[in-house]
């Protein structure tokens, strides 16, 4: 049993392996990020017929236009332009926004927490409901519960987020008055609590202002539930398919042979091995919510990155569009790759 040989050089070996996989991870993330930069560069400089116009906007004067053209270095070869673009991005320079007249990077830092708060609450709702639903669907495969969950999950793939947002507003805000309307907080509460984390729910608690906390909760409830529904759809479906696979495994039968209680068979024997792949699914879903937040934020006037992106789109504010794309894309890639790594660290089968 050489595998279980945990002598000192064994752990040194383990450290070496960890370092190597960490290095591999960094390389992969860096390459993917470079690919992302290539895509945004391509979109910004190659696709538009007139990249200058798309950066300065169509309301620019001739002087602004010429200045921008020189500033962008469009006379230089494409590859040189690309590397100077990469250099700028790495230096935190995403250009100026023509709609806010500020640095895009500063704008993004300002709006990002609102999106983070929304997406995080959404994923929490999605996980808390989606995982048990997926497990139930697998355990009662083919029966009513499974069919209901299946249809609900498929609805998650078929309902436009922006439509659900509008209907939600019409019903729960205008109709029933259960939740607050668009925006992150009522205007007269705006800007009262000092930003610490940028997350209003947490900042208001830090400041000890429960009025603001409940007002913010009132505002975030509906968009978060709607985002949660979409992640629930995906998480429940994936959980179901993982669980079906598990329930057919021989070791689940072994557990039944031992006389283990059925809840334990399901939650300990069948569910435990899928916790690790589920982390990947949840990670992907979390990243997906960043994407989903574009539509939801637009409908709810939520001052986050999605709203920023759509406003920029409408103003043909290309620097802002690409900056937001870059940030969302980077977070997406990062979450993606992190869940890959977690997979390898957490699964005992890959530890030896």
CA dist 199 to 111, 264, 280, 311, 312, Å? 10, 38, 25, 22, 23
| Per-residue DSSP letter, 59 | T
β strands within 109-156, DSSP E: none
Assess 103 for contact with another protein (CB under 8 A).
no
Helix axes 318-346 and 275-300, enclosed angle (nearest 10): 160
Least distance to another protein, CB of residue 93, Å: 19
Taking contact as CB under 8 A, which single stretch among the options 71-79, 85-93, 186-194, 343-351 is the one that binds another protein?
343-351
Where b means 16+ CB within 10 Å and e means fewer, 171-192 reads ebbeeeeebbeeebbeeebeee
Q: Is 264 helix (H, G, I), strand (E, B) or coil?
A: helix
Token output for 29: 């993330």
Tell me, residue by residue from 123 to 142, as one string, x for binding to another protein by CB under 8 A and - for no binding.
Answer: --------------------
Token output for 317: 């504010």
Output phi, psi for 103, to 5 deg: -65, 135
Are the C-beta atoms of 99 and 56 separated by less than 8 Å? no
Contacts of 333 (CB under 8 A, 6+ apart): 29, 32, 33, 36
Taking contact as CB under 8 A, which single stretch among the options 10-18, 59-67, 123-131, 149-157 is the one that binds another protein?
149-157
Q: In this complex, which beta carbon is closest to another protein, that of residue 197 or of residue 253?
A: 253
Given 166, 192, 196, 345, the residue binding another protein (CB under 8 A): 166
CA 215 to chain centre: 25
Least distance to another protein, CB of residue 105, Å: 17
Given 57, 113, 273, 303, the residue binding another protein (CB under 8 A): 273
Given 78, 155, 196, 345, the residue binding another protein (CB under 8 A): 155
Given 294, 297, 303, 307, the residue binding another protein (CB under 8 A): 294
Q: In this complex, which beta carbon is closest to another protein, that of residue 49 or of residue 187?
A: 49
Least distance to another protein, CB of residue 252, Å: 8
Assess 186 for contact with another protein (CB under 8 A).
no
Q: Alpha-carbon distance 325 to 309, whole Å? A: 8
Assess 94 for contact with another protein (CB under 8 A).
no
Hey, which residues between 13 and 72 contact another protein (CB under 8 A)? Answer: 31-32, 35-36, 38-40, 43-44, 47-48, 54
Q: Alpha-carbon distance 89 to 105, whole Å? A: 9
CA dist 310 to 62, 98, 320, Å? 26, 14, 10
Q: In this complex, which beta carbon is closest to another protein, that of residue 61 or of residue 158?
A: 158
Taking contact as CB under 8 A, which single stretch among the options 98-106, 121-129, 196-204, 295-303 is the one that binds another protein?
295-303
Q: In this complex, which beta carbon is closest to another protein, that of residue 179 or of residue 321?
A: 321
Least distance to another protein, CB of residue 242, Å: 9
Token output for 3: 């595998």
Hey, which residues between 61 and 80 contact another protein (CB under 8 A)? Answer: none
Rg (CA), the chain: 24
Hey, which residues between 205 and 264 contact another protein (CB under 8 A)? Answer: 234, 237-238, 240-241, 244, 249-251, 253-262
Assess 295 for contact with another protein (CB under 8 A).
yes
Given 114, 116, 123, 161, the residue binding another protein (CB under 8 A): 161
Q: In this complex, which beta carbon is closest to another protein, that of residue 213 or of residue 332?
A: 332
Q: How far apart are the first and last CA of the chain?
A: 12
Least distance to another protein, CB of residue 102, Å: 19
Contacts of 321 (CB under 8 A, 6+ apart): 309, 312, 313
Assess 322 for contact with another protein (CB under 8 A).
yes
């Amino acid at each position: 049993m050489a595998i279980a040989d945990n002598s000192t050089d064994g752990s040194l070996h383990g450290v070496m392996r960890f370092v190597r996989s960490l290095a591999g991870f960094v390389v992969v993330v860096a390459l993917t990020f470079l690919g992302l930069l290539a895509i945004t560069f391509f979109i910004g400089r190659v696709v538009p017929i007139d990249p200058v116009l798309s950066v300065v906007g169509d309301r620019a004067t001739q002087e602004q236009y010429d200045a921008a053209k020189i500033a962008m270095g469009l006379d230089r070869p494409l590859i040189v332009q690309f590397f100077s673009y990469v250099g700028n991005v790495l230096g935190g320079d995403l250009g100026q926004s023509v709609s806010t007249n500020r640095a895009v990077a500063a704008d993004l830092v300002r709006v990002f927490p609102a999106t983070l708060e929304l997406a995080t609450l959404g994923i929490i709702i999605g996980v808390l409901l989606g995982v048990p639903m997926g497990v139930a669907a697998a355990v009662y495969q083919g029966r009513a519960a499974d069919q209901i969950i299946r249809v609900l999950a498929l609805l998650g793939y078929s309902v436009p987020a922006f439509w659900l947002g509008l209907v939600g507003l019409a019903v729960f805000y205008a109709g029933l008055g259960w939740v607050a309307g668009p925006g992150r907080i009522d205007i007269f509460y705006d800007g009262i609590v000092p930003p610490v984390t940028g997350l209003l729910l947490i900042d208001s608690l830090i400041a000890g202002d429960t009025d603001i906390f409940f007002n913010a909760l009132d505002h975030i409830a509906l968009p978060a539930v709607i985002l949660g529904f979409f992640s629930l759809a995906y998480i429940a479906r994936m959980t179901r398919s993982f669980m079906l696979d598990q329930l057919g495994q021989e070791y689940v039968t072994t557990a039944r042979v031992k006389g283990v209680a059925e809840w334990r068979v399901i939650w300990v024997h069948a569910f435990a091995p899928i916790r690790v792949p589920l982390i990947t699914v949840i990670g992907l879903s979390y990243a997906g919510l960043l994407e989903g937040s574009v539509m939801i934020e637009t409908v709810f006037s939520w001052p986050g990155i999605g709203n920023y992106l759509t406003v920029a789109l409408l103003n043909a504010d290309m620097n802002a569009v690409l900056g937001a794309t870059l940030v969302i894309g980077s977070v997406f890639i990062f979450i993606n790759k992190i869940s890959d790594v977690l997979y390898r660290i957490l699964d005992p089968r890959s530890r030896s």
